[in-house]
Structure 1
Amino acid sequence: MSPRFIFRPFVFATALSALMTIPAYAADMITKISPHSVTITMDRLAAAVEGAGATVFARVDHAAGAAKVEMELRPTELLIFGNPKLGTPAMLDGQTAGLDLPLRVLVFADAEGVVQVTYHDPADLAETHGLPADAQYLAMMTGALDKLTSKAIAEE
C-alpha cells in the first residue's frame, strides 16, 4: 500500500469531519428593520432592556472603534445584556452556553442606509450547547428579544 493511498482517505475523512461541524456554528439570525437611526434605535433598546429589569452589560460602538484605527465603518453598535434568572438555568443545563450569553443585539446601517436590528435565535442555543429544546428559559429569551427589539423599532 503506497503512502498516497493512505493519505487520500485521511484527507477525505478530515474534510468530511470538518463539514459535519458546520451546522453547529451556523446560527439562525432574526432581523428587523428600524425607522430610527442606529443611535436612537440602540438608545431605545437599552431603555427597553433596563425597563424590563434586565442588565445592560456593555454597549459597543464598532464604528467608533474603527475610527480609532483610521478605518471607516457604517454605524454599527452592539448591546450585550441579560437576566441571570434566564441565563443561569441555561448554563446549568450546558455551561458552554456562557459563550453565547448574555444576549447580544447588533444594530447597524446597511449599504443603503437601512437600519437593521439583528440577533441570534435563542432556539439555536439548544443545538449548539446541548440544552433541552423545550426549555422554558429559551422560550422566555425568544419572547424577550422579540418584545425588546419591537419596542426599539416602534414608531411612536
Structure 2
Amino acid sequence: MIRTLTAAALTAVLALPAYADFEHRSSNDDVATVMDRLEQAVRAAGAMVVARVDHSGAAEGVGMELDDAELLIFGNPQLGTQAMQEDIRAGLFLPLRILVYRDGDETVIFWQEPEEMLDDLDIDDDAEYLERMEEALENFAEAAAG
C-alpha cells in the first residue's frame, strides 16, 4: 500500500513541470467574444492569422458534443523565421497557437511558453526573439481576456 502511494505521489510530482510550461488567463466572456478580441489583437500587432479552428463546431459536425473551444493559429515571420534559421525543426511548432475554451463558468485562454516549446531543439533559451514571442502571447491573452 505504501509503495503504491509513494509511486502515485512520485508520478504526480514528476508530472508537474510539464504543466508549468503553459500559461493561461481567464475571462468571464464567452469563447467567441474572447476569440474575436484575440484575433483582433493579433491582426492589430501586424501578425498573420493562419487559421481559426472551431473544435466544438467540428465535433458538432460529426454528431459529438464538446464544450466551446477554439484555436487561433498565428505568427510573425520576422520572429518565427529566426527560430527556424537556428533549427529548422522549429517549423513543427510554429506558427504559434492559443487555445480558448470554456471551463465551467469561465473562459480559459491557454498557450505554451515558446522557450519551453522549443526547448529540445538547437535554439538558445536566451534568444531575444523567444522573449518577444512570449511578450506577444501575454499581450494577446490580456487583450483577449478583456
TM-score, reference length from structure 1:
0.79
| Alpha-carbon displacement from aligned partner over 1:34-77 (angstroms, at most 9, x marks no partner) | 12110000000000000000000000000010001100000000
2:43 corresponds to: 50
After superposition, the CA RMSD in angstroms is 1.6
Code of the aligned partner of 1:100: F
1:125: Cα distance to partner?
Answer: 3.4
Matches within 5 A, 1:2-13: none
Return 5+ residue gaps in structure 1 as ranges.
1-21
Code of the aligned partner of 1:77: E
Query: Does the CA contact (< 8 Å) of 2:35 and 2:144 recur in 1?
Result: yes
| Alpha-carbon displacement from aligned partner over 1:56-113 (angstroms, at most 9, x marks no partner) | 0000000010001100000000000000000000001111111110000000001x23
SS state at 1:129 partner = coil
Code of the aligned partner of 2:28: P
Matches within 5 A, 1:75-154: 75-110=68-103, 112-154=104-146
1:128: Cα distance to partner?
Answer: 2.3
1:126: Cα distance to partner?
Answer: 3.9
SS state at 2:99 partner = strand
1:131: Cα distance to partner?
Answer: 0.7
1:6 corresponds to: none
Code of the aligned partner of 1:137: Y
1:37 corresponds to: 30
Counting matched residue pairs gives: 130
Query: Does the CA contact (< 8 Å) of 1:125 and 1:131 recur in 2?
Result: no
TM-score, reference length from structure 2:
0.84
Code of the aligned partner of 2:68: P
- Give me the identity figure in percent: 43
Q: Structure 1 stretches (4+) deviating beyond 4 angstroms? A: none
Query: Does the CA contact (< 8 Å) of 2:93 and 2:118 recur in 1?
Result: no
Query: Does the CA contact (< 8 Å) of 1:54 and 1:83 recur in 2?
Result: yes
SS state at 1:32 partner = strand
Return 5+ residue gaps in structure 2 as ranges.
1-13
The 2-side partners of 1:104 and 1:50 are apart by 14
